[in-house]
Amino acid sequence: MDGKCVRTPFGPPPRASLSLVEITEAYGIVWAWHHHNGDAPSWQLPDLDLPSDHAPVYRATDMAGHPQEVCENSFDYGHIQPLHGVEFLGEVSPPRADGPFYDINIKLNRRMPLLGNLQHLVSGKVIGLGGICVVVDLAQVGVRSVNWVLATPIAPWRIRLHLAVSSHVTWGRHFPAVLRSQASSGAARAVSSGMLVALQQDIGRDFPIWHHKKHLVHPKLSHKDGLIGAFRKWASKFYPPTSRGTAGTPLVAHRPSLPNGDLERCK
Ligand SMILES: [Fe+2]
């Protein structure tokens, strides 16, 4: 298939065609490759050993914004406490940029209903500028959860943000053997549905900021702002060399005014 229109219900097809992108499926997600020159993929998705008992549950929201801004949020340690109400306890290991991937491992303290303070590890892998995989290890309650934050550009300066969650429950081994697989999957899916609501509420606090923020080439950063500078330097590799500004800052800085409008829920 080459994307050309081959027939219509009304007569001879017009000379029309769709542009094609290469796709692949991984982790229960369909990924599309885009290159400004139409070049073939120059890197592959990583092999991830993700704890999951079922296909991801997901929801999507349309908003103004840019994938780079969504990824940058993960490196902005300074906003975690004031915006999300979660205590940042520090990095578990040094952040590591490796080609098209960027790993961060941090420890957070989150106050949970009925459970009180819950310290937990958060392992994040940024995959290009298109996806963030965050594994949340809630060992105290026997849950490991994979949270995906996926920003897909759908128009200039507009994105469709998919949030997707899949989980693994360690207490599935307590189910009767004959039911174990199905019961574990059902329990994990129920956990993921709850986690997805929590993720939507948590990241929903970022939505108005992503929707309205303006990109500054030279933001006034303090050392508490985390890795924003390092992230931007790394992110510049995903832009054509001719669009890069000074100090590795891509042309994304020269964005037009964002359109106004309410965030839209994609059904
Ligand atoms: Fe955030």
Q: What is the CATH number of the domain that holds 148?
A: 3.90.380.10
Contact in structure between 134 and 149 (CB atoms under 8 Å): yes
Task: Please give the Cα distance from 160 to 266 (Å, whole number).
Answer: 8
Q: Supply the pLDDT for residue 260.
A: 37
In the reported structure, the alpha carbon of residue 200 is separated from the centroid of ligand 1 by a whole-number distance in angstroms of 11
Q: Is there a domain that residue 208 lies in?
A: yes
Q: Is there a domain that residue 250 lies in?
A: yes
Retrieve residue 131's tokens: 């996806």
Contact in structure between 255 and 267 (CB atoms under 8 Å): no
In the reported structure, the alpha carbon of residue 209 is separated from the centroid of ligand 1 by a whole-number distance in angstroms of 9
Q: Is there a domain that residue 6 lies in?
A: no
In the reported structure, the alpha carbon of residue 171 is separated from the centroid of ligand 1 by a whole-number distance in angstroms of 31
In the reported structure, the alpha carbon of residue 5 is separated from the centroid of ligand 1 by a whole-number distance in angstroms of 43
Q: Supply the pLDDT for residue 253.
A: 39
Q: Is there a domain that residue 228 lies in?
A: yes
Q: Supply the pLDDT for residue 34.
A: 87
In the reported structure, the alpha carbon of residue 76 is separated from the centroid of ligand 1 by a whole-number distance in angstroms of 8
Tell me how crowded residue 115 is: count the other CB atoms within 10 A of its CB.
Answer: 11
In the reported structure, the alpha carbon of residue 210 is separated from the centroid of ligand 1 by a whole-number distance in angstroms of 9
Q: Is there a domain that residue 146 lies in?
A: yes
In the reported structure, the alpha carbon of residue 26 is separated from the centroid of ligand 1 by a whole-number distance in angstroms of 25
SS3 37: coil
Low-confidence residues in the chain, pLDDT < 70: 171-183, 243-267
> 164-185 burial string, b = 16+ CB within 10 Å, else e?
bbbbbbeebeebeeeeeeebbb
**Number of structural domains, the chain?**
1
Nearest alpha-carbon partner for 96 in 70, 117, 75, 120? 75
Q: Is there a domain that residue 1 lies in?
A: no
The C-alpha angle with vertex 160 and arms to 154 and 161, in degrees rounded to 5, equals: 150
SS3 125: strand
Retrieve residue 9's tokens: 């219900």
**Number of alpha carbons in the 13 Å side-chain half-sphere of residue 137:** 10
Nearest alpha-carbon partner for 60 in 155, 188, 156, 199? 199
Contact in structure between 60 and 266 (CB atoms under 8 Å): yes
In the reported structure, the alpha carbon of residue 70 is separated from the centroid of ligand 1 by a whole-number distance in angstroms of 8
Q: Supply the pLDDT for residue 25.
A: 92
Q: Is there a domain that residue 8 lies in?
A: no
Q: Supply the pLDDT for residue 257.
A: 37
> Containing domain of residue 212, as a range?
23-265
pTM of the predicted model as reported, rounded to 2 decimal places: 0.81
In the reported structure, the alpha carbon of residue 72 is separated from the centroid of ligand 1 by a whole-number distance in angstroms of 9
In the reported structure, the alpha carbon of residue 38 is separated from the centroid of ligand 1 by a whole-number distance in angstroms of 33
Q: Is there a domain that residue 232 lies in?
A: yes
